[in-house]
Amino acid sequence: MTRVAIFASGNGSNAENIIQYFRHSPQISFELILCNHPKATVLERADRLQIPTRIFNRQEFYHGNEILQLLQNKSIDLIILAGFMWLIPSNIITAFPQKIINIHPALLPKYGGKGMYGDFVHQAVSRAGETSTGITIHYVNENYDEGGIIFQKSINIEKGEQPLSIAKKIHALEYQYFPVVIEQLIKEKK
Ligand code: GRF
């Protein structure tokens, strides 16, 4: 059994999609959703899905050990970042080597780094006149969007395609591939 914690800051549609994908799986249990935003929609999803939540602030996350201890007390094996906006502090990175993964809505190393999240990514891709973009699933280190790449999938877009349209295509890709890649990763780690 792989015990999973999900970090999410906002809507949480990927978090829900992942949980739904595995809902009949005996191999994986979702122990906790951690969130830095008390009004985030992901918390409503967590309630509906009956997954315990923990809301935290900057002080607790960056200057305390409580979140790390919570993850350890719950014997978490895998941490999934699904739309989580803050850098993971080094105490958690060190305690979970190659056990924290993130999804980024572009083909890293392009369109990554600080400030490159959500619609800002799709706006930059559209403005640059790219004819393809995609998703990247990668391990997490102390820097934004820099850990080893696990999986990428690209799609074609029209030159100058609008950010909203790109966002829709990217979300569809995320829903299709993120759970499958997690499943594969869990198999490999056994
Ligand atoms: C996704 O596009 C993901 O790639 C990025 O943040 C977004 C989260 O969307 N890291 P949601 O909260 O899962 O709907």
pLDDT in tens, 96-115: 999 999 999 999 999 999 99
Ligand 1, atom 9: closest residue by C-alpha: 83
Contact 119, 152 (CB under 8 A): no
Ligand 1, atom 10: closest residue by C-alpha: 83
Contact 30, 15 (CB under 8 A): no
Average pLDDT score over residue span 82-87: 96
Please state the atom number of ligand 1 nearest to the C-alpha of residue 8.
Answer: 12
Q: 44 in helix, strand or coil? A: helix
Strand spans (E) along the chain: 2-7, 28-35, 53-55, 78-81, 100-104, 132-139, 149-156
Beta-carbon neighbour count of residue 62 at 10 Å? 14
Average pLDDT score over residue span 123-130: 96
Please state the atom number of ligand 1 nearest to the C-alpha of residue 10.
Answer: 12
Interval between CA 164 and ligand 1 midpoint (Å): 14
- Ligand 1 within 6 A of 134 CB? no
Which strands sit side by side in the sheet containing 2-7, from one edge to the other?
53-55, 28-35, 2-7, 78-81, 100-104, 132-139, 149-156
- Ligand 1 within 6 A of 133 CB? no
Q: Give residue for tokens 């949480």.
A: 12
Average pLDDT score over residue span 59-85: 97
Share of the chain above pLDDT 70, in %: 99
- Ligand 1 within 6 A of 19 CB? no
- Ligand 1 within 6 A of 10 CB? yes
- pLDDT, residue 172, reads 98
- The gap between the terminal CA atoms of the chain, to the nearest Å, is 10
pTM beyond 0.85:
yes
Contact 103, 173 (CB under 8 A): no
Nearest CA to 126 out of 156, 154, 158, 152 is that of 158
- Token reading at 130: 């790219």
Residue 148 sits at φ, ψ, to 5 deg, of: -55, 140
pLDDT at residue 190 greater than cutoff 90: no
Structural domains of the chain ordered from first start: 1-97 (3.40.50.170)
* pLDDT tens readout for residues 44-56: 999 999 999 999 9
- pLDDT, residue 11, reads 97
Beta-carbon neighbour count of residue 134 at 10 Å? 23
Question: Would residue 104 show up in a list of annotated catalytic residues for this protein?
Answer: yes
* pLDDT tens readout for residues 132-184: 999 999 999 998 889 999 999 999 999 889 999 999 999 999 999 999 999 99
